[in-house]
Amino acid sequence: MIKKTAQRCEWFVDIGAGKGELVVYFLKRTSANKVIAVEPQRSENEIMLRNLKYNGLDSDRRLVIVDKCVGTASGENFLSLDSFASLVQGRGFLKIDVDGAEMDVLESGKQFLNSLKPTVLIETHSAELERACLEFLQAMCFSTRIIRNAWWRRILPEHRPIPHNRWLLATAESFFLC
């Protein structure tokens, strides 16, 4: 799914970029003209910078690294998702992995989501957050679906300290029906 979507994207915004695995992928394997990596945790950011350098991507002109939180709060360490709208145009892909603040990110980006209509991939960290994200995106006329865990996770489970961890995908391809 990521590979197929990535091939059609003109930009990628990774909120909660972590170690930068998807950032590296989008810079190396796609023709995206803008890749924005948002990671406020210094330790993760340092690893991402090393991964970018190792892959020869640390000076790629398409790359923008933001070391702030994204959400509805105000202050020098916070940005809204809407603030990224002026940096991108055309078809895009938004990934959100923020360990419980998914709805706060979405609520800070109503204009971004409405005007750009990106493909959205969100990792949800509770059943309640998953429901809230689904309802929010469906109310904005996105088609949504839960991505099932890989079959091999039954054999090799992903050990996380939380009871719920899934991904959801939202697309605006049927936006005109709303």
Quote the pLDDT of residue 153.
Answer: 54
**pTM of the model as a whole:** 0.91
- Decide if 81 contacts 15 (C-beta within 8 A): yes
Residue spans per domain, the chain: 2-177
Give per-residue pLDDT as tens, 79-138.
Answer: 999 999 999 999 999 999 998 899 999 999 999 999 999 999 999 989 999 999 999 999
Q: Which helix (H) or strand (E) holds 3?
A: helix 2-6
Summary mean pLDDT of the chain: 91
Q: Are 40 and 67 in contact (CB under 8 A)?
A: yes
Judge: domain 2-177, CATH 3.40.50.150: yes
**What is the C-alpha to C-alpha distance for residues 104 and 172, in angstroms, rounded to an integer?**
20
